[in-house]
Copies of this chain bind each other. A is one copy, B any other.
Amino acid sequence: MARKISDSTVRRLSRYLRRLRTLDRQELKVVSSRELAESTGTTAAQVRKDLSHFGSFGKRGQGYGVTDLRVQLEEILGLTRRWRVAVLGVGRIGSALLGYGFFTQRGFDVVAAFDTDRSMIGRDVAGVRVQPLKELETTFEEQEISIAIIATPVEAAQKAADRAVRAGARAILNFAPIKLRMSPGVAVREMDVTLELEGLCYLVTEAGAATDVKE
């Protein structure tokens, strides 16, 4: 199948899927590239181009079957299996994630949590027991964990990620405000609220400056 799909395409596929799941729940049968585009913030041509990298899923003159396309996208994204996830660092973010019910619904099982803080260890957070770091390796192996969510303080993030990878993790979702250095085979995505807020500030400031000058 097609090679080297861009990051932005994958992001959009995920958005299409999110929308399709809603449409499917509402028992809508058919959707057009235009409708899908409007509800995900892109263009109809973009939707068709994105999908065309993987095959032809629509019927000319009609559109796409909602359930069918949903299933196709789930296959493309690798979501026909369940994924086992561990949370490293059970502070505010870690706890919020452990309690986030949507994960299970979407195929992600948070099966383990780790922390170094003695007062946290042994506690039950949203049904998951907080384990000491020294149990990381055995738990990752036993539970076949492939995704590690880094929610530690920034100083501990790189070490935690390295250790997760050595223990078998193949993907890292990083909440710590630092660029992790990982070997090429490991997938990494970063989530940094401050970064997003700063992006918004830029846009608001620019918009203000632009109107000052132009209008």
Contact = CB atoms under 8 A, between A and B. Distances in A.
So how many copies of this chain end up in the complex?
2
Contacts of A15: 179, 195
Given A97-B193, A173-B193, A78 B205 contact: yes
On chain A, which size bracket covers the interface? Answer: 35 or more
B97 A14 contact: no
Contacts of A40: 179
Chain A facing B: main interface SS? helix
A18 B173 contact: no
Contacts of A202: 5, 10, 13, 76-78
Interface of A: 5, 7, 10-11, 13-15, 17-19, 39-41, 76-79, 83, 85, 92-93, 95-97, 99-100, 102-103, 106, 108, 146-147, 170-173, 177-179, 185, 187, 189, 191-207
